[in-house]
Amino acid sequence: MNLAELTQSYDFSGKSVVITGGAGSLGGEMACALVGCNANVAILDRDTALAERVLKRIDTKVGQVIVVYGDVLKADSLEQARKVIVESFGRIDGLINTAGGNRPEATTGPDRSFFELSDEALRFVVDLNLLGTILPTKVFGKQIAEQKEGSIINISSMAALRPLTRVVGYSAAKAAVTNFTQWLSTYMARECSPKIRVNAVSPGFFLTDQNRYLLTDRDTGALTQRGQSILDHTPMRRFGQPEDLLGAVLWLLSPLSAFVTGIVLPIDGGFSAFGGV
Ligand SMILES: NC(=O)c1ccc[n+]([C@@H]2O[C@H](COP(=O)([O-])OP(=O)(O)OC[C@H]3O[C@@H](n4cnc5c(N)ncnc54)[C@H](OP(=O)(O)O)[C@@H]3O)[C@@H](O)[C@H]2O)c1
């Protein structure tokens, strides 16, 4: 391989990628990068006004980009979205399931023991992260299965590898996302096509809206004890930036990872490698 062939591998001209939760911090960054690499990108989110803001960040539109309404927990809205995307781009080559998150009411703390956690919030968190990955994969993955070729990327978490304190529902749900990634990689390769790959990335700690309240003080912005503890256990001693995920995501979508399926790739500044001593 030479430099021209390597560069070609990251040219996604004619390929289209759906990003669920594409208006969010991590999904939005992926959308911008993919459009810059010539992909056609569908930013799917339940908040289309926020998604429109991502569009404004894309200055050089090499690939096409559309914003599509879709709630990852409502199959009918995903079916509608699939129709719009296929009408616009003709096909779906990649799916990145970034919609997910946590809720304070499903998190233990000084004022909330495990026994007092809200059942409704726990159910919400498990549904959003697990079913919110499975349902879009049924809808968009079916299109990929019909085309016999494509790449699906899920977003797991450090909480899946070894459960983190406090975030009980989130840890359980992300562990299930890891399991589902492995399950589906096998199913797709054996039952649909060996050219359909399913992998996940497992981000370490990225300071975004969904975990800011756990890592920094609401009033002062100073690190919480938990935020400090995370940095102490991250050999690179910093939080991740959304762009830290891009190399892995582009690689997993590209033909350079043609023989890679069923992996969960940590992108964590060394957190998962460090024994803490
Ligand atoms: N940030 C981290 O450190 C970190 C670490 C490990 C894993 N992750 C995972 O990475 C993914 C992205 O995280 P992020 O930090 O970018 O979070 P984020 O900024 O909150 O982005 C998530 C996006 O998903 C959307 N969403 C939520 N529920 C939805 C639904 N039912 N249907 C469609 N869209 C929905 C959100 O919209 P609303 O704003 O309307 O809710 C938001 O735009 C999540 O799966 C998260 O668990 C994050």
Q: Whose CA is nearest to atom 1 of ligand 1?
A: 206
What is the maximal distance between C-alpha atoms in the chain? 59
**pTM assigned to the model:** 0.97
Partners of 223 in beta bridges: 216
Distance of CA 15 from the midpoint of ligand 1 (Å): 24
For residue 213, what pLDDT is reported? 80
> How many other CB atoms sit within 10 Å of the CB of residue 105?
16
- Name the catalytic one among 10, 69, 170, 213: 170
Give yes or no for a contact between 146 and 90, defined as CB atoms under 8 angstroms apart: no
Please name which of 263, 265, 94, 266 lies closest in space to residue 195, comparing C-alpha atoms: 94
Give yes or no for a contact between 96 and 18, defined as CB atoms under 8 angstroms apart: yes
Partners of 112 in beta bridges: 109
Backbone angles phi, psi at 201, to 5 degrees: -110, 150
Q: Whose CA is nearest to atom 40 of ligand 1?
A: 47
Q: Whose CA is nearest to atom 11 of ligand 1?
A: 98
Residue 15 tokens read as 């390929």
Distance of CA 190 from the midpoint of ligand 1 (Å): 31
Distance of CA 97 from the midpoint of ligand 1 (Å): 9
Assess whether 170 carries a catalytic annotation. Answer: yes
What secondary structure letter does DSSP report for 240? B
For residue 61, what pLDDT is reported? 66
> How many other CB atoms sit within 10 Å of the CB of residue 166?
18
Among positive and negative, which fits the CA dihedral 202, 207, 209, 212?
Answer: positive
Distance of CA 2 from the midpoint of ligand 1 (Å): 37
Residue 236 tokens read as 């690179």
For residue 60, what pLDDT is reported? 66
What secondary structure letter does DSSP report for 222? P
For residue 41, what pLDDT is reported? 97
Across the 277 residues of the chain, what is the mean pLDDT of every consecutive 10-residue run? 96 97 96 96 93 83 89 98 98 98 94 97 98 98 98 97 93 98 98 98 92 88 94 97 97 98 98 94
CA–CA dist 255, 274 (Å, integer): 31
Atom of ligand 1 nearest to the CA of 100: 45
Collapsed DSSP state (helix, strand, coil) of residue 102:
coil
For residue 50, what pLDDT is reported? 86
The residue type of 136 is P
Ligand 1 pocket list (CB less than 6 A): 20-21, 23-27, 45-47, 50, 70-73, 98-101, 128, 132, 155, 157, 203, 205-206, 208-211
**50 φ/ψ sector (left φ>0, alpha ψ -120 to 50, else beta):** alpha
Whose tokens are 């909330």? That residue is 112
Atom of ligand 1 nearest to the CA of 156: 7
**Which CA distances in Å does 20 have to 95, 186, 196, 209?**
8, 22, 19, 17
What secondary structure letter does DSSP report for 129? I
Q: Whose CA is nearest to atom 27 of ligand 1?
A: 99
Distance of CA 45 from the midpoint of ligand 1 (Å): 10
Collapsed DSSP state (helix, strand, coil) of residue 72:
coil
